[in-house]
Structure 1
Amino acid sequence: MISEALTRAQVSEAKRIVVKIGSSSLTTMADGLDHDRLRRIADVLGAERAAGREVVLVSSGAVAAGLDPMGISRRPKDQATKQAAAGVGQSLLMAAYTQALAAHRLVPAQVLLTADDLIHRAKYRNAQRAVERMLSLGIFPIVNENDAVVSHGVRFGDNDRLSALVAHLIHAEALVLLSDVDALCTAPPGTPGSERVPFVSGPEHLEELSIGGTGAAGTGTGGMVTKVQAATMAADSGIATILTSADRVAEAVAGDDVGTAFGVTHRRRSTRLLWLAHLAQKHGTVHVDEGAARAVSERGRSLLAVGVTGADGGFDAGDPVDVRGPDSALVARGIVNFAEDELPAMLGKSSEELGNTLGADYRREVIHRNDMVLTDAVFEQGEQ
């Protein structure tokens, strides 16, 4: 079993590490960019780079940085104004990093990504090659979501989950999530008796905890839930993770006893399955009987029509769907091979019966096991 000591050692010994910092740690509504905080972060990461570690920074802050120059006193709600602020703020953010990293003789590179870039294989490989080349040339990649052009329906929504995917993209061994909170606690911040959780061993442990808090500064989009989802996503792909405050960055990258460490729970997953497990927006539900639920969850089988009892949600073939058992418990999530309106004629029939009555194309699995991931309580908590 992965221990806290081993997890922190994995972080301290990682040759390639991703560090994510949130808007609330870099900006304020009153003054825009906090240049002192940004410089301190750059100093720590510059020292790590000088020590021979490869560092990729995922930095929020573009939208918040753009508000003051635009004369806006509060974070806008409409997408167009947010995108305009991102366009203004991203240049200011990169200029600040360029100046701060120059003291360490590091040249930063701006990498703006969208969800499409990390979901579709060809774009994923292109992004991977680009970042790998930057690292090989000694360049310091700084990643952000491309807020100026991204569509609302296909965005990460915050950089926590983006950082987990970037860590997966570049085969990082560790992820450090920095925000305005010191650690995951047993109750929301300010609650009497709340205590730091030093280590999360897996999803079962999270079920026992109350996850709350949205940060204090009012300029970010991610709360504690998204940070835990990102840490869980990384751990689910073999990446040791530490969640702590920006002021603890030096201790965090050194593997010291700060924040909350998340132990690895799974070996590296394919990008497709990682997306399906943690980011895909489900389009409907396939309901199955008890036998099918056990076959999928306990024996790793594909889902066949003979075990399907119903469907809803209006999904098409190729859409991500939930698979739920007779008690409505979430069993799995997968890419369905048939549209919802095709399933009623297939319910309860064997593959042979389907082929004889509906044609050879209907002999296929409703969801193939290679296009399906088993689910747990964290998936339910992360439902959008």
Structure 2
Amino acid sequence: MTVAGSPTRAAIAAARVMVVKVGSSSLTTAEGGLDPARLDALVDALAARLAAGSQVILVSSGAIAAGLAPLGIARRPRDLATQQAAASVGQILLAHAYVESFARYSLQVGQVLLTADDVVRRSHYRNAQRTLSRLLALGAVPVVNENDTVATEEIRFGDNDRLAALVAHLVGADALILLSDVDALYDGDPRLGAARRIDEVAGESDVDGVRAGSTGASGLGTGGMASKLAAARLASAAGVPVLLTSAAQAKAALGAADVGTAFAAGGRRLTSRRFWLGYAADTKGTLTLDDGAVAAVVTRRRSLLAAGITTTTGDFVAGDVLELRNTSGVTVARGITNFDSAELPALLGHSTQDLPLDQRREVVHADDLVPLI
């Protein structure tokens, strides 16, 4: 399909609410520190979209990179403590730069710092959702970033691409735009020789064979093309179309959307609860299902019964979220368990009618289950 006739691009161009993510390399210099000209150019494009009547949430990397030069650090640190120190300095500089740049258009900015905990825990998820929605209603521009200064290795998102995909669903966005230092998705690294540019992604077959790098070209960020591809897949699977391109093409991306790579929305828009369950919630264990149970859960959307489970792993209690896997180890669904890990092994393989009366219930009810394939 050509760019000109792409319904995905038309949907992105017409989006009323959009999330825009920009990477560290697009805002900072190779030596560290913010690049005011790049940041202003991005804000110019965002302000134009806002003036056209859309609501925009900006997910911005750059806090750690912005803090390197002021602290005299030559390159991005590997240890968490130094990253947090750099972020504590850089976050102030980054927020101030956005406030001043958006002020050129008389626009207010609201900073929203999130950890993975804020999306993994259901109550925190709802709080983040309400805060972002209220900022939009008040006409402010939410600028979201991972709260690097307090996040631990265990509760980090790892990159802002995934955070942007989660925020896109959180606010019910009509589109997600991922801006980096690469103009589109390629099946290999275009810097290393011939690589095929991919303009449209309608399904998984369109990205078969893509070799995506794990770090950005500048070395300042944490994502790279691999994280952008994963984020695009996550968002599109949940019903949000995605455009991936370079920050240098932000004006076109936020306008006609006739640049970069467009990912079609591949699934129905999930409710907030089902998206949280399928993609955001932390999992505490796994259940391995036989072929019949996989068919019941994935194809027929039935509840999971003990008879179809072959093994369990993890230490969990009733109410925790578990991964449901097939016999090949592929995660086919996620769901909320009705049993503790201590009591479940004795029930495996038994029909419901053979169980004691107080245990004759679904291991995972269909209403608490989200298929992933």
TM-score (norm 1): 0.89
CA distance in 2, matches of 1:137, 1:14: 19
Question: Who is 1:33 aligned against?
Answer: 34
Counterpart residue identity of residue 199, structure 1: E
Instruction: Provide the secondary structure at the position in 1 that maps to 2:349.
Output: coil
Task: Check conservation: 2:12, 2:257, Cα contact below 8 A.
Answer: no
Question: Who is 1:375 aligned against?
Answer: 372
| Alignment partner of 1:363 out of 357, 360, 364 | 360
- Deviation string, structure 1 residues 112-152 (Cα, Å, up to 9, x no partner): 12223233343333323322232222222211111111232
Question: Who is 2:23 aligned against?
Answer: 22
Matches within 5 A, 1:1-384: 5-212=6-213, 214-356=215-357, 360=358, 362-376=359-373
| Cα distance, 1:26 vs structure 2 | 1.0
Instruction: Provide the secondary structure at the position in 2 that maps to 1:231.
Output: helix
| Cα distance, 1:314 vs structure 2 | 4.1
How many residues were matched structurally?
371
Task: Check conservation: 1:233, 1:274, Cα contact below 8 A.
Answer: no
| Cα distance, 1:326 vs structure 2 | 3.2
CA distance in 1, matches of 2:41, 2:178: 16
| Cα distance, 1:274 vs structure 2 | 2.3
CA distance in 1, matches of 2:104, 2:290: 63
Task: Check conservation: 1:286, 1:308, Cα contact below 8 A.
Answer: yes
Distance 1:98 1:326, change over 3 A: closer
Higher mean Cα deviation, 12-21 or 271-280?
Answer: 271-280
Question: Who is 1:381 aligned against?
Answer: none
Give the RMSD, CA atoms, in angstroms: 2.2
Higher mean Cα deviation, 318-327 or 104-113?
Answer: 318-327
Counterpart residue identity of residue 244, structure 1: T
Task: Check conservation: 1:286, 1:321, Cα contact below 8 A.
Answer: yes
Counterpart residue identity of residue 366, structure 1: V
Structure 2 unmatched ranges of 5 or more: none
Task: Check conservation: 1:26, 1:34, Cα contact below 8 A.
Answer: yes
- Deviation string, structure 1 residues 287-313 (Cα, Å, up to 9, x no partner): 222211211122111111011112234
Task: Check conservation: 2:122, 2:276, Cα contact below 8 A.
Answer: no
| Cα distance, 1:177 vs structure 2 | 0.5
Distance 1:292 1:108, change over 3 A: same
Higher mean Cα deviation, 173-182 or 192-201?
Answer: 192-201
CA distance in 2, matches of 1:7, 1:237: 15
Instruction: Provide the secondary structure at the position in 2 that maps to 1:331.
Output: strand
Distance 1:328 1:83, change over 3 A: closer
| Cα distance, 1:280 vs structure 2 | 4.2
| Cα distance, 1:159 vs structure 2 | 0.9
Task: Check conservation: 1:189, 1:213, Cα contact below 8 A.
Answer: no
CA distance in 1, matches of 2:293, 2:237: 25
Structure 1 unmatched ranges of 5 or more: 377-384
Distance 1:331 1:117, change over 3 A: closer
Question: Who is 1:380 aligned against?
Answer: none
